[in-house]
Structure 1
């Protein structure tokens, strides 16, 4: 798929774009149907909150047939190639499970800050492509963005190892307040199947989910093949070490699975 010039300009200016209904509700439901089995797994890729509910599942595309296809879906990979101007490889594939009542906070951060510090990613030539697997509203812990904050480049951050069960390089309150003074805060919402694409230096966070509605989000993080990571201190399932360019499947690759299930 091709982005419009307006979408490309918004990505460059604001740091993110929202693509409503990029996947059908049926395609999103197929992806979501795989989650209960994944969340029951006892394996290193499944990260739990301090409360015991699942926080994140890494690298599901390596052990689930549906997500193996999603990881090569042209609606996710072709925009990444277009925006980064190169072939891309999979730096990270994860599902963040913001569980109803129990989904914990994600502190204010830039993803590139962690990828640079922990994985040795040279430059911010990686991006997130996120798929809503549930309807996202103002109550179930939506992502919060500070528009145009990506234009500051990498911002100094501290390594927070205590707030949640997952270590993260986070920004201090004074810096966040100054960025918000300039750019405000937005929280993109939408139906299951909506896609968010955002820059790796865009400052973002999410509040705890106190609502009775889950907010599961799938993230495909692609990196330019000429920007491969140089540190290998995190497990391969968190920061992949296969820098082979992603080869996309046909656009109907999920429909084929839905027909097989039916």
Structure 2
């Protein structure tokens, strides 16, 4: 999948691209059907909501589940990022965020690169997210909120929030959010929320400031996020366990376009459980000559 010149210009201006209904219902169902088994596992890779058994985030499904392993190599997910970076990419992070009905809590205002820089020592913002909705997303079930153009501010100050939710996040303070929203248009477009059917896809910049509210509706809002990083920009520290921030910097080899409909063979190194190495951490800085 190649981006048009108009799409590239829009991405540079707004920091995101939205493709409503990009994947077919059949393709999306292949993924949705695999989620319950992943969420049922009592493993470290399932982070649950505070005071609840509902899964907030599932990590590394592409190393465990065949459908998600194929999604991780889908040209519609990987190709546009390679196109923008003009470089091969590796999987920095793979997560299935489960903002479950009545229980899905907020994701505070943040930049993803803030976490990747502060925790993982990723050198620059040459990484980004590609997301696919596994459920219909509407105004009621906690849609993403973007501040258009906020990526052009670059890396902003952030604080490490360890208490608001069950997942620690480097968050942006309210005063700066107000400034960024005002600069983006205030009440007239200063915050946007891409909404659409299951199978919709979003590509967004790692410095785009975003958040989402709690899900008080009876409708689940599950979405998959591939965090793809230019190979030359790989992380320099393993402060976080490998199931969260991956350490295999091998370029992704894409599968054909129909990879969600046909059983192309894929490697599943963690299908029998997390290896001990996936839980280990280190504060040492990598020798980039060897990495």
Normalised to the residue count of structure 2, the TM-score between the two structures is 0.87
- Shift of the alpha carbon at 1:257? 4.1
Q: Which residue of 1 aligns with 2:279?
A: none
Q: Distance in 1 between matches of 2:87 and 2:139?
A: 35
* Structure 2: distance between partners of 1:115 and 1:52: 27
Aligned counterparts, 1:18-29, within 5 A: 18-29=18-29
Could you give the per-residue CA deviations for residues 111-152 of structure 1, whole angstroms, max 9, x where no partner exists? 000000000000000000000000100110000000000000
Match of residue 30 from structure 1: 30
Q: Is the CA contact (8 Å cut-off) linking 1:17 and 1:198 kept in structure 2?
A: yes
Aligned twin of 2:247: 241
Asked if 1:57 is matched to 2:58, the reply is: yes
CA deviation digits over 1:84-119, x for unaligned, max 9?
A: 111000000000000001000000000000000000
Match of 2:225 among 212, 219, 222: 219
Is 2:233 the counterpart of 1:232? Answer: no
Cα distance in 1 for partners of 2:174, 2:68 equals: 36
Please state if 1:3 is matched with 2:9.
no
Out of 191, 201, 213, the residue aligned to residue 207 of structure 1 is 213
Deviating 4+ runs (over 3 angstroms): none
Q: Retained in 2: the 8 A contact 1:22–1:75?
A: no
Of 174, 182, 186, the match for 2:192 = 186
Give the aligned CA root-mean-square deviation in angstroms: 1.0
Distance 2:201 2:136 in 1: 11
Query: What corresponds to 2:133 in structure 1?
Result: 132
How big is the shift at 1:21?
2.1
Distance 2:53 2:176 in 1: 32
Matches of 1:73 and 1:40 in 2, distance apart? 25
- Mapped to 1, the partners of 2:263 and 2:133 lie a distance apart of 19
Structure index of larger Rg: 2
Pick the structure with more helix per residue: 1
Q: Distance in 2 between matches of 1:172 and 1:52?
A: 29
| Structure 1 Cα separation of the partners of residues 144 and 150 of structure 2 | 15
- Alignment size in residue pairs: 258
Write the distance in 2 (CA, Å) between the matches of 1:5 and 1:192: 27
- The match for 1:159 is 160
Q: Gaps (5+ residues) in structure 1?
A: none
Q: Which runs of 5+ in 2 are unaligned?
A: 185-189, 265-291
Q: Secondary structure at the match of 2:31?
A: helix
Tell me the residue number matched to 2:114.
113
Q: What is the TM-score with the length of structure 1 in the denominator?
A: 0.97
